[in-house]
Every structure is written in C-alpha cells, then in structure tokens.
Structure 1
Amino acid sequence: MATKFYSVIVVAFVYLITTVDISSSIKCWVCRSDSDPKCSDPFDNSTVPITDCKQEPDLYHYPNVRPTMCRKIRQKVNGQWRYFRSCAYLGEPGIEGDERFCLMRTGTYNIFMEYCTCNSKDGCNSALAGTVPANIWYLISACLLVWRIPFVVRVLW
C-alpha cells in the first residue's frame, strides 16, 4: 500500500515540475530563410542566436501586447519555400493547445502557408511540425519511474 502512495507522490511531483511555468518570458529562434538558409528545415541553429522575447519591441498596432509564444511560418510562394521563425504576440499554441498541429492556408497564385505557435519550452519553434511535445516524454518517464518504484523500495528496505 505504501508503494502506491509513493507512486502517486512521484507522479504528482514529476507532473508539477514539468508543467508549471515559473518564467514570464520565452526564448525563441528568430530568423528568415531568405536571408539565412540555415533557418529552413531541417533547422540549423549554429548561426542563429536564441532571442529572449521579453526584449522584443512593443508593436504600435497592438499596444500592451507582449510576445508569449514562439512562431514558425512555412510558406510556399510560386514553388519556393520560405521559413520564418520569431516570437509570437498573438495566437494559441496549435489547434486546441496541441503544438503538433498548425494552421494551414492556401490561396491563389500558388501560395501555401503553415503557421505554428508553441510555448512548451524555449526554442520550441525549431522543430518540424508533427513532432511529439516534450510533456508526452515527461509523462512516459514518470510512468516508467512509477513502474520501477516497487523494485527500488524492496531493494532499499
């Protein structure tokens, strides 16, 4: 019975430390593939410094709105792909909060756009769309840890 109690405590602790955001700012990659080819996918951040979004300027047309997420835009215009990574002032992380999904739009003149926002961790706008969010890995790790706790308790006691 005690091992079940310890298991619940460990899962709760791991959940809290992986989901509670104690910072009020996020750091994002800021670049454009038309000026730096390493900004495209696959992303190579060797020439791009990560930017603290709290240092980004206020927007004239959105007073008192601060960036709280990262953004990645993938655009195809007349057959040419362009990538933009930056801090995001507005939007929601993915569809219904799931960062693996992005808004996609098509238009006339052979234009396609994919707009992804995220706030799960610093530099989250480096990933390709469709990657597994970090919280899933934390949950899997916590489950594996809980599964092994009875063995550890038996060995220590």
Structure 2
Amino acid sequence: MAFFSFVFLSVDALKCWRCSSDSTTSAFCDDPFDPSIINDQQRRWAYVDCSFPPTTQQNFGTYQQSSRPVCKKMKQLVNDKVVVSRSCSWEDVNAPADSCMRTQTPSYIKTEFCETCGHDGCNGASTFSVATILVLIPAVIAYFLAL
C-alpha cells in the first residue's frame, strides 16, 4: 500500500528550471535556453521540484485551494541589461499564462515577456504563442491546397 501512495504522490510533482542569465554559472539560462551546456551539478540545482506550497501563508494559515504550482519564464530589462529568469511560482488556477506581465516592478525594471506553464521543464522550452499558431495554420493549409 505504501508503494502505491508513493507512486501517486510522485506523479503530481512539477519540475521546473530555476536559473537567471545574469548569474556567472547559468549561461544556459539565456534565450534561447541551451540544455546542451548544462553539466550534472548544474542540473541538480537548476531543475527543481516546484510542487511545494509557497512559504507565505494565505487564508489564515491554509493555502488557497484555487492555486497551483507553475513554471515561469520572464525576460526583463534591468538597468538596460536583458535578464532571462526561469523559476517556480504559484498562481490562481484561472489565471491566464501571461498574467505575470501585469506584476508591478520598480522603474528600472521593464518586463518584456512573462509566461507560466504547468508541465515539467516547460519554462526551458521554446514556445509558440497563440498568434503564431493562428498565422501558421492558414499558411500550411494554403501550401497543401496549392499542391
């Protein structure tokens, strides 16, 4: 019975990349993400379990049932330097993937891109926006119709 409990608990774990391109040991974190240059030691501290609840308590000591762990990728201009960061985060289950774009930052930080996702390692992958996909679908259909 304990074995089955362990199996079910491990299925729910979300693993995300946690790094920042402005760190001297995280060149792989830049954009585009380059996992081919990550060594084993970096992988151990940069690819982490994000399933644990946030450390801040909400709702008088209980965690809101409507929040979930997510992976986050953010690209910001900090004092005129581009910084790409990847991290764990928690958000409302109904929040759109780009809701982190509305986060207030100091005047010397400009957020150019921020998106969350909910499957293992997704904040390291290249993503296509909905607009990109909507543009590509008619192009592919037109290509096949022209054949």
TM-score, normalised on structure 2? 0.54
TM-aligned CA distance change 1:60 to 1:74, over 3 Å: same
User: For 1:115-154, what per-residue CA distance to the aligned partner results, in whole angstroms no more than 9, with x for missing partners?
Assistant: 21001x21000134x5268xx9xxxxxxxxxxxxxxxxxx
Structure 1 residues 64 and 31, CA, compared in 2 at 3 Å: closer, same or farther?
A: farther
User: What is the aligned partner in structure 1 of residue 56 from structure 2?
Assistant: 60
Asked whether the equivalents of residues 30 and 85 of structure 1 are also in contact (C-alpha less than 8 Å), the reply is: yes
Larger Cα-atom Rg:
1
For 1:1-157, list aligned pairs within 5 A: 23-35=11-23, 36-45=26-35, 46-47=38-39, 48-49=42-43, 50-54=47-51, 56=52, 58-62=54-58, 64-65=62-63, 68-91=69-92, 92-95=95-98, 103=101, 109=107, 111-113=109-111, 114-119=113-118, 121-128=119-126, 130-131=127-128
Structure 1 pair 122–108 and aligned structure 2 pair: CA distance change class (3 A): closer
SS where residue 69 of structure 1 aligns?
Answer: strand
Q: Is the 8 A contact 1:33 1:82 kept in 2?
A: yes
Measure how far apart 1:105 and its partner are.
6.9
- Stretches of structure 2 that go unaligned for 5 or more consecutive residues are 1-9, 134-147
Q: How many residues align?
A: 105
Give the CA RMSD over aligned residues. Answer: 3.4
The question of whether the paired residues in 1 share the 8 Å contact of 2:53 and 2:69 is answered with no
Specify the alignment match of 1:150 in structure 2: none
Deviations 1:64-111 (A, max 9, x none): 54752101111102320111111111253515xxxxx97367977453
Secondary structure of the corresponding residue to residue 56 of structure 2: coil
Q: Secondary structure at the match of 2:84?
A: strand
1:152 corresponds to which residue?
none
Distance 2:71 2:117 in 1: 5
Distance 1:104 1:57, change over 3 A: closer
Q: Residue type of the partner of 1:59?
A: T
Equivalent position amino acid for 1:42 in 2: P
Change (3 A) 1:69 1:122: same
Aligned partners of 1:57, 1:102: CA distance in 2, in Å? 18
Unaligned runs of 5+ in 1: 1-21, 96-100, 137-157
Task: Note if contact 1:73-1:85 (Cα within 8 Å) is conserved in structure 2.
Answer: yes
TM-score of the two chains, using structure 1 as the length reference: 0.51
